[in-house]
Structure 1
Amino acid sequence: MMQLITPEFYGEFAGELKEMHGLRYRVFKEKLDWEVDTKDQMEADALDGQMPVYLLLRGFDWRIRGCVRLLPSTGPTRVRDTFPVLLGAHILPSTPDIWKSRRFALDFPASAPTAARGLAQVTYELFAGMIEFGLAKDLTQVVTITDMRMERILRCATWPLSRIALPQPSGKTRAVAGFLEISDTTLRRIRRRERVSGPVLWQPVLERSV
């Protein structure tokens, strides 16, 4: 089940947010060994202080198994302000119909069901949740920074990243910035590969906060 947490509900869902930061620590620090800010086995950075929207994915065991952070492109953007090398000679748009996403993370057991092309079903579920959120906000694109591993996963899921410029070294990995299309067509394509019928189940109280 998807859970959407907007800033006005941070206090009400403080436990879920703490669990999310722990998931991010396990994924980005322990598994990927990225150079990230950590404290007490949790990962957070400056963008978490800019009142983002968090999209969380709960497993059948009710634990948070995935997350992604979403912010409007009209505010401060790490692609533009911190990693301009990833833009090459391009200027990043700053418009209401484009949001930015970071910290896409999944942590699930090896026994988790797989879907099309051998990807975990939860991967498609979180992608679909991002697209459904974008459609609800009338977005056309999401801009993101990711590594080459995640770019391959996106391509395999048939939600390819449209690169802004060539990948560049970033710590122990290579990073690339690009756009992801938000459209009904993209959602249908993801849903077909996810092999799950029906829409994403949103928490009713959170749905009203979109």
Structure 2
Amino acid sequence: MRLIAVTPDLHEQHSGLLKEMHCLRANVFGSRLGWEVTTTDDGERDEYDDLRPTYILATKSGRVCGSARLLPATGPTMLQDTFPQLLERGGLKAHDRMIESSRFCVDTSLEGGRGGGHLHLVTLSMFAGIIEWSMANGYNEIVTATDLRFERILKRAGWPMTRLGDPAAIGNTLAVAGSLPADAASFERVRPAGYRSSFSGNDAASARSAA
């Protein structure tokens, strides 16, 4: 498995992978979780995909098996502009070193084993990739809107979320907003054996021995 970052300048070059990503999102959010999202034959997408985000993708044998979307928290963001009810007093105290992660999804049907806390290796690899890319690009805080189930997964991974407000019902989901540190200690806790990324500058240096 390998993690890649598709920055705005690489969207066209990796259009095939991005199409796979949108289809994965449709399967996870629309079909599996039953969220109120817009899906077409081209997959799931929303207005925040038009803001030239960076996508973190987990790939295995050339297939996308995990993805997340990153946008600077200074806006526009899903958390501030779509789900402000999740924020205390309805506002996000954004700063230049804060980034928003949204549309996190993993294809857990793929064989890939389980890592720490019995979490899927794709999930742990995605966590590590988001942290690594964020640190490498000057961010030290990640904010997100998620559900209570995923909040528990983050805690099990050793990357607990600090809530930014009280949980609230959104569609069929009890959602919550939170902040996560992007630091070396968090990266080391979540990084699974054999982790590899293409954006560390040296795949070999970022790979951990499975021994």
Please indicate, yes or no, whether the TM-score normalized by the shorter chain is above 0.5. Answer: yes
Preserved contact between residue 90 and residue 164 of structure 1 (Cα < 8 Å)? no
The answer for the alignment partner of 1:138 in structure 2 is 138
Preserved contact between residue 22 and residue 41 of structure 1 (Cα < 8 Å)? yes
**CA separation in 1, counterparts of 2:48 and 2:37?**
12
Q: Count residues in correspondence.
A: 201
Amino acid at match of 1:67: S
Deviation at 1:18, TM superposition (A): 0.4
The answer for the alignment partner of 1:178 in structure 2 is 178
Q: 1:77 to 1:203 in 2, by over 3 A?
A: closer
Deviation at 1:188, TM superposition (A): 1.2
**Aligned partner of residue 89 in structure 1, secondary structure:** helix
Which structure 2 residues correspond to residues 199-210 of structure 1 after superposition, within 5 A? 200-202=196-198
Preserved contact between residue 133 and residue 199 of structure 2 (Cα < 8 Å)? no
**CA separation in 1, counterparts of 2:188 and 2:31?**
34
The reply on whether 1:64 has 2:58 as its aligned counterpart is no
Q: 1:11 to 1:204 in 2, by over 3 A?
A: farther
Q: 1:126 to 1:55 in 2, by over 3 A?
A: same
Q: Deviations over 1:149-175 (max 9, x none)?
A: 111111110111110111100001111
**CA separation in 2, counterparts of 1:5 and 1:111?**
24
**Aligned partner of residue 89 in structure 2, secondary structure:** coil
Preserved contact between residue 129 and residue 197 of structure 2 (Cα < 8 Å)? no
The answer for the alignment partner of 2:208 in structure 1 is none
Preserved contact between residue 25 and residue 42 of structure 1 (Cα < 8 Å)? yes
The reply on whether 1:151 has 2:151 as its aligned counterpart is yes
**CA separation in 1, counterparts of 2:199 and 2:100?**
23
Q: RMSD across aligned C-alpha pairs, in angstroms?
A: 1.8
Q: Deviations over 1:95-125 (max 9, x none)?
A: 1100001000000336321111111111111
Greater CA deviation, 83-92 or 42-51?
83-92
Deviation at 1:91, TM superposition (A): 3.1
Deviation at 1:75, TM superposition (A): 1.9
**CA separation in 2, counterparts of 1:7 and 1:49?**
10
Q: 1:20 to 1:110 in 2, by over 3 A?
A: closer
The answer for the alignment partner of 1:73 in structure 2 is 73
Flag structure 2 segments of 5+ consecutive residues without an equivalent: 204-211
Q: Identity, % of aligned pairs? A: 38
Q: Deviations over 1:43-98 (max 9, x none)?
A: 00010000000010002x32110000000011212222222110122631221100
Q: 1:136 to 1:27 in 2, by over 3 A?
A: same
The answer for the alignment partner of 2:207 in structure 1 is none
Deviation at 1:13, TM superposition (A): 1.0
The answer for the alignment partner of 1:126 in structure 2 is 126
Preserved contact between residue 68 and residue 103 of structure 1 (Cα < 8 Å)? yes
Amino acid at match of 1:6: T
The answer for the alignment partner of 1:88 in structure 2 is 88
> Which segments of structure 1 move beyond 6 Å, counting only runs of 4 or more?
none
Which structure 2 residues correspond to residues 156-171 of structure 1 after superposition, within 5 A? 156-171=156-171
Amino acid at match of 1:8: D
**CA separation in 1, counterparts of 2:56 and 2:126?**
8
